[in-house]
Amino acid sequence: MKIFTIVLLFITFNLSAKEEGGVIVKILPDSLVLNSSCKAMADLVAQDFSILYACKDSFQRMYFYNFRLNNIDLVADFEKDSTDVVVNKSQFKSYTLYEITAKNSDNKPIKAVSYCTKELCLDLVSDNEYEKSIQDSITSQLRG
Protein backbone atom coordinates (compact mmCIF):
# COMPACT_ATOMS: atom_id res chain seq x y z
CA MET A 1 0.00 0.00 0.00
CA LYS A 2 2.88 2.36 0.81
CA ILE A 3 4.42 1.82 -2.64
CA PHE A 4 1.05 2.48 -4.29
CA THR A 5 0.71 5.77 -2.38
CA ILE A 6 4.22 6.89 -3.37
CA VAL A 7 3.57 6.04 -7.04
CA LEU A 8 0.24 7.89 -6.94
CA LEU A 9 1.88 11.00 -5.43
CA PHE A 10 4.65 10.87 -8.04
CA ILE A 11 2.13 10.61 -10.91
CA THR A 12 0.05 13.46 -9.47
CA PHE A 13 3.14 15.64 -9.08
CA ASN A 14 4.28 14.97 -12.66
CA LEU A 15 0.84 15.67 -14.09
CA SER A 16 0.50 18.98 -12.24
CA ALA A 17 4.06 19.95 -13.18
CA LYS A 18 3.36 19.25 -16.87
CA GLU A 19 0.11 21.19 -16.63
CA GLU A 20 2.00 24.22 -15.30
CA GLY A 21 4.85 23.77 -17.83
CA GLY A 22 7.59 23.06 -15.30
CA VAL A 23 8.49 21.87 -11.82
CA ILE A 24 6.21 23.17 -9.06
CA VAL A 25 7.94 24.01 -5.79
CA LYS A 26 6.10 25.03 -2.62
CA ILE A 27 8.77 25.87 -0.09
CA LEU A 28 8.51 29.62 0.27
CA PRO A 29 5.17 31.13 1.26
CA ASP A 30 4.45 31.22 -2.48
CA SER A 31 4.48 28.37 -4.98
CA LEU A 32 6.97 28.66 -7.83
CA VAL A 33 6.97 26.96 -11.22
CA LEU A 34 10.58 26.25 -12.23
CA ASN A 35 11.81 25.42 -15.71
CA SER A 36 11.24 21.79 -16.71
CA SER A 37 15.02 21.39 -17.14
CA CYS A 38 15.48 21.66 -13.35
CA LYS A 39 16.54 18.59 -11.42
CA ALA A 40 16.24 18.39 -7.63
CA MET A 41 19.31 17.51 -5.61
CA ALA A 42 19.57 17.04 -1.86
CA ASP A 43 22.59 16.47 0.35
CA LEU A 44 21.23 14.49 3.26
CA VAL A 45 24.48 14.64 5.23
CA ALA A 46 25.07 18.38 4.86
CA GLN A 47 25.20 20.42 8.02
CA ASP A 48 22.74 23.00 6.73
CA PHE A 49 19.31 22.11 5.37
CA SER A 50 18.80 23.03 1.75
CA ILE A 51 17.16 21.74 -1.40
CA LEU A 52 18.99 22.52 -4.61
CA TYR A 53 17.56 22.57 -8.12
CA ALA A 54 20.12 22.49 -10.95
CA CYS A 55 18.78 23.98 -14.19
CA LYS A 56 19.90 24.98 -17.68
CA ASP A 57 18.90 28.11 -19.54
CA SER A 58 18.26 28.29 -23.29
CA PHE A 59 22.03 28.64 -23.88
CA GLN A 60 22.63 25.43 -21.86
CA ARG A 61 24.34 27.42 -19.05
CA MET A 62 23.88 26.01 -15.55
CA TYR A 63 22.18 27.97 -12.81
CA PHE A 64 20.87 26.88 -9.42
CA TYR A 65 17.92 27.50 -7.13
CA ASN A 66 18.91 26.87 -3.53
CA PHE A 67 16.05 26.76 -1.01
CA ARG A 68 17.54 27.02 2.48
CA LEU A 69 16.89 28.11 6.02
CA ASN A 70 17.65 31.78 6.64
CA ASN A 71 20.47 31.03 9.07
CA ILE A 72 23.51 31.69 6.86
CA ASP A 73 25.14 35.04 6.21
CA LEU A 74 25.44 34.65 2.44
CA VAL A 75 27.10 38.05 2.03
CA ALA A 76 29.85 37.10 4.50
CA ASP A 77 30.39 33.83 2.62
CA PHE A 78 30.79 35.74 -0.64
CA GLU A 79 33.18 38.24 0.95
CA LYS A 80 35.28 35.39 2.37
CA ASP A 81 35.55 33.42 -0.89
CA SER A 82 35.33 36.16 -3.56
CA THR A 83 36.56 39.57 -4.57
CA ASP A 84 34.83 42.71 -5.82
CA VAL A 85 31.68 41.86 -3.87
CA VAL A 86 28.78 44.26 -4.44
CA VAL A 87 25.52 43.83 -2.53
CA ASN A 88 22.24 45.60 -3.24
CA LYS A 89 19.64 45.04 -0.52
CA SER A 90 15.99 46.01 -1.00
CA GLN A 91 12.49 45.08 0.09
CA PHE A 92 10.26 43.20 -2.35
CA LYS A 93 6.77 42.60 -0.96
CA SER A 94 7.31 40.44 2.16
CA TYR A 95 10.79 39.38 1.01
CA THR A 96 14.18 40.93 1.59
CA LEU A 97 15.97 40.87 -1.76
CA TYR A 98 19.77 40.62 -1.94
CA GLU A 99 21.44 41.05 -5.33
CA ILE A 100 25.09 40.04 -5.12
CA THR A 101 27.82 40.23 -7.76
CA ALA A 102 31.40 39.14 -7.19
CA LYS A 103 34.40 37.47 -8.78
CA ASN A 104 35.58 34.00 -7.82
CA SER A 105 39.20 32.96 -7.27
CA ASP A 106 39.62 32.55 -11.07
CA ASN A 107 38.44 36.16 -11.50
CA LYS A 108 35.23 34.99 -13.19
CA PRO A 109 31.96 36.78 -12.41
CA ILE A 110 29.47 35.26 -9.98
CA LYS A 111 25.91 36.45 -9.72
CA ALA A 112 23.44 35.61 -6.96
CA VAL A 113 20.01 36.83 -6.02
CA SER A 114 18.40 35.87 -2.72
CA TYR A 115 14.76 36.25 -1.79
CA CYS A 116 14.47 35.83 1.98
CA THR A 117 11.68 35.68 4.49
CA LYS A 118 12.36 35.55 8.20
CA GLU A 119 12.67 31.75 8.04
CA LEU A 120 13.62 30.77 4.47
CA CYS A 121 15.66 31.95 1.51
CA LEU A 122 15.68 31.19 -2.18
CA ASP A 123 19.11 31.77 -3.73
CA LEU A 124 19.40 32.00 -7.50
CA VAL A 125 23.07 31.44 -8.29
CA SER A 126 25.18 31.05 -11.42
CA ASP A 127 28.87 31.04 -12.24
CA ASN A 128 27.92 32.74 -15.49
CA GLU A 129 25.28 35.23 -16.43
CA TYR A 130 21.85 33.67 -16.52
CA GLU A 131 19.03 35.03 -18.61
CA LYS A 132 17.21 37.94 -17.00
CA SER A 133 13.92 36.18 -17.74
CA ILE A 134 14.80 33.60 -15.04
CA GLN A 135 14.90 36.22 -12.29
CA ASP A 136 11.89 37.98 -13.81
CA SER A 137 9.95 34.71 -13.66
CA ILE A 138 10.61 34.35 -9.91
CA THR A 139 9.72 37.98 -9.28
CA SER A 140 6.44 37.69 -11.17
CA GLN A 141 5.41 34.58 -9.20
CA LEU A 142 6.11 35.92 -5.71
CA ARG A 143 2.98 37.39 -4.23
CA GLY A 144 4.28 37.70 -0.65
**Residue-wise pLDDT tens digits, 30-66:** 989 998 889 988 776 667 778 899 999 888 989 999 9
Nearest CA among 96, 116, 133, 144 for reference residue 22: 133
Instruction: Determine the structural domain holding residue 15 and report its residue range.
Output: 2-141
Q: Name, in order, each residue with C-beta under 8 angstroms of 71's C-beta and a sequence gap of 6 or more.
A: 48
What's the predicted TM-score (pTM) here?
Answer: 0.77
Q: How confident is the model at residue 8 (pLDDT cuts 50, 70, 90)?
A: very low
**Residue-wise pLDDT tens digits, 120-137:** 999 998 877 788 899 999
Domains in the chain, number: 1
CATH number at residue 34: 3.40.1000
Q: How confident is the model at residue 20 (pLDDT cuts 50, 70, 90)?
A: low
